[in-house]
Copies of this chain bind each other. A is one copy, B any other.
């Protein structure tokens, strides 16, 4: 898990300090486990508390309500997604390869943890005004893509235009195929093409055509 334990104090001083130690951390761990196994519907306050070995009302000492827990999971998930995209871009040798790598990393993230991915954008934590941290984490991930497109423009392999605008269209393609894959809509195609990564590459390549400079026709 990305997030540090909830306090900056030395761990040794916290261990066994209170009834539980660091219940907030344990609850998030339990919630993550339930989310990956049963989807967001399985992430219930009581289920989390049971898994953490505390009473049903204990989570209310650390979270306002169920939605707040889901919001923290979403925030962490978006930060991890942004990190993974940035790492993929950093490994690539040139701007074109970086954009492809970002797209494939994005889809891979969604495929590996579909329930988490659905939570990132779904309606469970829809009220962005209530959770600005979630929105900021999303913007951070988006910025990785915008930066990669701007770099492509500087290298002359991406056509001119507002990078943010180009990024939205490109993101839509990658986001869309990720959704279609994890929702099982293109399951037959995946079986025929040899795995979700192959389908993702297909889409990323086609979306790339929309970014390249067009010669006059």
Chain A 178-217 interface 0/1 with B at a Cβ cutoff of 8 Å (1 = within): 0110011110010000000001001100111111001101
List residues of chain B with CB within 8 A of the CB of A169.
173, 177, 202-203, 206-207
The reply to whether B183 and A176 contact each other, CB–CB distance below 8 Å, is no
What are 6 A-B pairs at a CB distance below 8 A? Answer: A128-B184, A168-B203, A171-B180, A174-B176, A175-B179, A207-B207
Of A126, A172, A186, most B-chain CB atoms within 10 Å: A172
List residues of chain B with CB within 8 A of the CB of A160.
none
Chain A contributes a number of interface residues (CB within 8 A of B) equal to: 41
List residues of chain B with CB within 8 A of the CB of A174.
172, 176
Which B residue's beta carbon lies closest to that of A175? B176
The reply to whether A202 and B165 contact each other, CB–CB distance below 8 Å, is yes
- Per the 8 Å Cβ criterion, residues 88-144 of A in contact with B are 118, 121-123, 126, 128, 138
Say whether chain A's binding surface is mostly helix, strand, loop, or mixed: helix
Known interface pairs A121-B183, A215-B215. Does A172 touch B210 (Cβ–Cβ under 8 Å)? Answer: no
Known interface pairs A206-B210, A210-B206, A210-B207. Does A172 touch B176 (Cβ–Cβ under 8 Å)? Answer: yes
The reply to whether A184 and B126 contact each other, CB–CB distance below 8 Å, is yes
Report how far A126 CA is from B179 CA in the complex, Å: 12
* A39 at interface by CB-CB < 8 Å: yes
| In the A-B complex, the 5 residue pairs with the closest CB atoms | A176-B176, A172-B176, A172-B177, A169-B206, A206-B210
The reply to whether A168 and B186 contact each other, CB–CB distance below 8 Å, is yes
